[in-house]
């Protein structure tokens, strides 16, 4: 049976699919040529990440397709309900990248509270001639221990982010409309683990009480955090979006940074990917990455093997 990974797949996934007896192709086919490729090569399952879309038109045009797999969490690039209505299996790997995204949140957060996002821009330019001035400019850093991290969306990634925060000695203020509480297991290198029960709070309470707010919600029809929500946050708070472009109102964010309502922002996702707004890219108070939350070797290995196992279970 033929499987096509249009946006690539890790070697662990390649090996696992081969062991399970599937024939895998990984050629990146242009979106407009994908229907012909699927039909001409008798593709039974297509695997995508975020670059390729699988919409109603493709599903209707490929009657031999039996499975659609998304390497990652969000499936907003797939017409999931329609595919399942047509009898196709639709799978993803919601747990595989949780730790990777959570660690990226803290990479941004550590960098932001010590101004690394700005220091790394200015040290190569002025470090030799203005060292003392830069030292003074970046001297007012903040420790994370003892601060409150607001987590909007307390699913797998939100809880993985909370684990790191708790391990650092932070308080966690969580909001999730679908749960009242969750037990988070903070694991240590030696196999020990501490379970901490976290009761979710109201959305407004999380905004008002948090020193930093991180978003872990699916794609939305309108921003989860806009001008009104930013106004409710602590003055000087920080905002991190490693979820989806559009869950933060980008113009409102720029305004909040300019007015000093927020001290910094960190963005891994953008409204206009792959061409983010220049006003974001050039802003001195925004830490930036190009949508790499799940882009670690470990996460990609887990994604590949989890997809292969699910394909075997469904089509093998």
**Which residues are catalytically annotated?**
244, 273, 291
Contact 47, 9 (CB under 8 A): yes
Report the C-alpha gap between 117 and 10 in whole angstroms: 30
**CA neighbours within 13 Å on the CB side: how many for 208?**
5
**Nearest in space to 304 (alpha carbons), one of 20, 65, 58:** 20
Confirm if 25 and 41 have CB atoms less than 8 A apart. Answer: yes
Taking the C-alpha atoms of residue 160 and residue 164, their distance in angstroms, rounded to an integer, is 7
| SS3 labels along 268-314 | CCCCCCCCCCHHHHCCCCEEECCCCCCCCHHHHHHHHHHHHHHHHHH
DSSP state of 248: B
Q: Given phi > 0 = left and psi -120 to 50 = alpha, else beta, which region is 220? A: beta
């Amino acid at each position: 049976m033929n499987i096509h990974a249009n946006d690539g797949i890790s070697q662990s996934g390649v090996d696992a699919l081969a062991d399970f007896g599937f024939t895998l192709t990984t050629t990146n086919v242009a979106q407009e040529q994908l229907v012909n490729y699927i039909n001409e090569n008798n593709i039974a399952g297509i695997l995508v990440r975020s670059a390729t879309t699988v919409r109603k038109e493709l599903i209707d045009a490929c009657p031999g397709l039996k499975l659609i797999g998304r390497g990652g969490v969000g499936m907003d690039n797939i017409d999931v309900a329609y595919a399942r209505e047509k009898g196709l299996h639709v799978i993803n790997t919601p747990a595989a990248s949780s730790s990777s995204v959570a660690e990226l949140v803290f990479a941004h957060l550590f960098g932001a509270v010590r101004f690394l996002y700005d220091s790394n821009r200015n040290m190569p330019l002025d470090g030799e001639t203005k060292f003392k001035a830069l030292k003074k400019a970046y001297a007012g850093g903040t420790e994370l221990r003892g601060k409150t991290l607001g987590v909007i969306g307390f699913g797998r990634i939100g809880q993985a982010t909370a684990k790191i925060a708790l391990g650092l000695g932070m308080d966690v203020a969580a909001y999730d409309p679908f749960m009242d509480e969750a037990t988070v297991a903070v694991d240590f290198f030696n196999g020990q683990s501490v379970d901490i029960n976290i009761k979710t709070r109201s959305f407004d309470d999380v905004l008002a009480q948090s020193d930093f707010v991180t978003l872990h919600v699916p794609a939305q029809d309108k921003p989860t955090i806009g001008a009104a929500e930013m106004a409710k946050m602590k003055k000087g708070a920080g905002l991190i979006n490693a979820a989806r472009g559009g869950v933060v109102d980008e113009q409102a964010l720029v305004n909040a940074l300019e007015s000093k309502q927020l001290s910094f922002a960190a963005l891994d996702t953008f409204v206009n990917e792959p061409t983010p707004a220049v006003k974001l890219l050039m802003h001195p108070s925004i830490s930036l990455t190009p949508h790499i939350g799940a882009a670690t070797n470990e996460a990609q290995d887990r994604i590949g093997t989890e997809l292969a196992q699910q394909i075997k279970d469904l089509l093998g």
